[in-house]
Amino acid sequence: MLCRELKAIDLIKHIDLWNHNVEFIEQEENWERPAVFVEFCPIQWNAIVPGVEYRAEPLIKLHIVTDWEGSSAEGSELQEDALKVFDLPWVMFGAGMPQDQGWLTGTYMYDQTFNRRNVDYGSTIAMLIVILGVILSNVANRVFRPSDDL
């Protein structure tokens, strides 16, 4: 069912299972982009009747891979092309697919701010995105900083 829904989106050129495809891209076969890779996360089963009935809410992650078109800086002739990387996530999750349950943080912020006119909540989400981005970039810089000993 998921594959059928993804194939209905004309922009997607390749659909496959996630196997850390981007991390080892030089070892992969060529695939067209934009591509969507489906990752099935470990399932946490809950016992309804122990030994008889169990239920779970499986988590599925979609990894979207697009080509980098160039600089998105103000005045860049490639600005519009560079920002096209956000078109596919908006087409896939623009309305909180499925049943208002699956949002990307940026599309959720946009929906709250502009579609539902809940500007305060949308602004809070935007601040959270910025704060998390700063924290994660600082952590990444500390972890991957070249050693002075070399």
DSSP 87-130: HHHHHHHTT-TTTT----HHHHHHIIIIIS--HHHHHHHHHHHH
Phi, psi of 59 (to 5 degrees): -105, 130
pLDDT at 23 over 80: no
Mean pLDDT over residues 16-22, rounded?
Answer: 75
pLDDT at 138 over 80: yes
The answer to which of 34-38, 63-67, 90-94, 106-110 has the lowest mean pLDDT is 90-94
**pLDDT recorded at residue 82:** 62
The answer to which of 32-46, 53-67, 96-110, 114-128 has the lowest mean pLDDT is 96-110
| Count of beta carbons in the 10 Å neighbourhood of residue 88 | 19
H/E segment holding residue 14: strand 14-17
